[in-house]
Structure 1
Amino acid sequence: MSAPSVEVRLVKAGATKIRYPAELLGNDGTHLAVRAPWAAPGVRDFGFVRFEPGDVFTEHYWRDRWYSVKEVRTGDGTLKGWYCDITRPAVLAEEAGELSVEDLDLDLWVSADGREILRLDEDEFEESGLAARDPEAAEQAVRALDELERLARAGRFTQLFGV
């Protein structure tokens, strides 16, 4: 028997950035976990990590947290690290089988050994104008990024988000 599936939809600035099918691993009403192969075409080289065909993402979403955490592994299971998106809380439309999250531009990368912790796209966040449009959401976003960085620096990612 195969696991149920959902379609993950990432929205940015009001438009769908990407959507892809994922296997639903768990849903406790607040936390959802899904697994999906790298969904974008080709290779995305960030300089500090490459996402490429064959990579597998185990993704954690929450209905009450302002972030998602994606554990990234190669096709053979080698851990690359965790890519974290700062988002509004996830929304699951069960009848449609769609998990939606709104990307708020801030990101965090944590390498597999935990030595490299990078805050990303802070310039994009500033340029987005979210602080002027929705100061409460902007504050939640910065708070979420700070929380994830604290967890990473405390070495808690494997314990909390490892599979």
Structure 2
Amino acid sequence: MVKETSPESQARFTTFLKHLEEARQLQLDWMTYGIDCVDLYVEDVDGDWLETWGEDEDEQMQRQKLMAAIIGFLESNDWVAVRIRKQFKDESKSIADIAIELEKCLSIVEPHERVLAVKKVLADGITATDNDFLTSAEYKEIELLDLAEELQEKLAENFRWGYGSN
């Protein structure tokens, strides 16, 4: 009587054999090279990874705080926030989507480039039927640039983001 094995059991057994072979290879490398075998398995073992431990988490926490601040601002009754929401009223973008794009812009170090990036995000919210702006393309450009500068100033004075600020 032959018992059939399921494909799942066969896959687990194959994975087990692969791990067993890797363990045997590690043991062989340890016996051959001693402590130097660590260099075969660990990248940048002599780097500054211990000194920089936790910095990524700090930066991530800082970005999360900035995102929360931007979302809070965009949901506020501040006249700049109201204009920005109005800018995107016909778009399918949520406030969180807009905040993600703005956070990327605020990480730009050069102030002029940062304002232009914010302006581009705001320009993406303009629809062809938007009657809030005059029909002049030049006026739209000036209006968007003013709004982008106002937004950047509001965020800078209220939230003091930790990177890319001047």
Q: How does the TM-score come out when normalised to structure 2?
A: 0.27
Indicate the structure with greater strand content.
Answer: 1
* Higher relative contact order (Cα pairs below 8 Å, separated by 6+ residues): 2
Structure label with greater radius of gyration: 2
Q: How does the TM-score come out when normalised to structure 1?
A: 0.28
Indicate the structure with greater helix content.
Answer: 2
